[in-house]
Structure 1
Amino acid sequence: MIRTMSVLTLAAYALPAAGEDSDRRPPLGRPASTMTGSEIKAYNVGLAPTHPDFIKCRKIEEIGSLVKKARVCHTNDEWKRLWEQGNRDSRETVEHFGSKGSGCPPTAVC
């Protein structure tokens, strides 16, 4: 009964009101990875897959295991920020270590 109520409450929360922009975040500031599949489906009702608040899950292989995978869920906006942060970290690493061996900065033509 409680589980049914929570899914119904979540479904009611997920449906945008008429004329509403449908800008919303996961309920109670809860991380998307802790939500069940049915809660994510109910949350995504009415959102386009390209909407910044649409939640997508990916299975990521765990290092050291041939079969174990972790389910990671984020909104499109969070996936975009994670992708940008990874690119920024990679660029900083290349810039930091790139000039150590050759004596030439990576952006210069030597």
Structure 2
Amino acid sequence: MLHILTVLALAATPAASVPADDRTPPDKAPSSMTNSEIKTYNEGLAMTHPYYIKCRKIEESGSWVKKARVCRTNEQWKQAWAQGNQNARDTAEAMTRAPVNSSN
């Protein structure tokens, strides 16, 4: 039990390489960075930090196998999510306001 608590305590302590407050956004697009560049950039950042880079595999339309690797900072993922939700709301609103064809 003591071993588990020690491991949890060590995992909770942040790495002290670069202060997270001094970090700037990545110089190039996260999707164009290699995995090792992303790992180096993320070192010392909390997973919830706005500049922490996360990658996802997204299925490409028309293919059963092909997937695109998309990497963005948390801030960019948040903006993309908000924009997608706004687009969905706009579409739903436009559909409810659409005129009804009464000639039939």
Q: Give TM class, smaller chain.
A: 0.7 to 0.9
Residue of structure 2 in register with 1:16 after alignment: 18
- Aligned residue pairs total 84
CA deviation map 1:31-70 (0-9, x unaligned): 1000000000000000001110000000000011000000
SS at match of 1:67: coil
SS at match of 1:58: strand
TM-score of the pair, normalised by structure 1: 0.71
Gaps of 5+ in 1: 1-14, 103-110
Gaps of 5+ in 2: 1-16
- Identity rate, percent: 54
CA distance in 1, matches of 2:65, 2:74: 27
Matched, 1:54 2:52: yes
Residue of structure 2 in register with 1:39 after alignment: 37
RMSD (Å), alpha carbons: 1.5
TM-score of the pair, normalised by structure 2: 0.75
Greater C-alpha radius of gyration: 2
1:77 Cα deviation from its structure 2 partner: 0.3
CA distance in 2, matches of 1:23, 1:42: 12
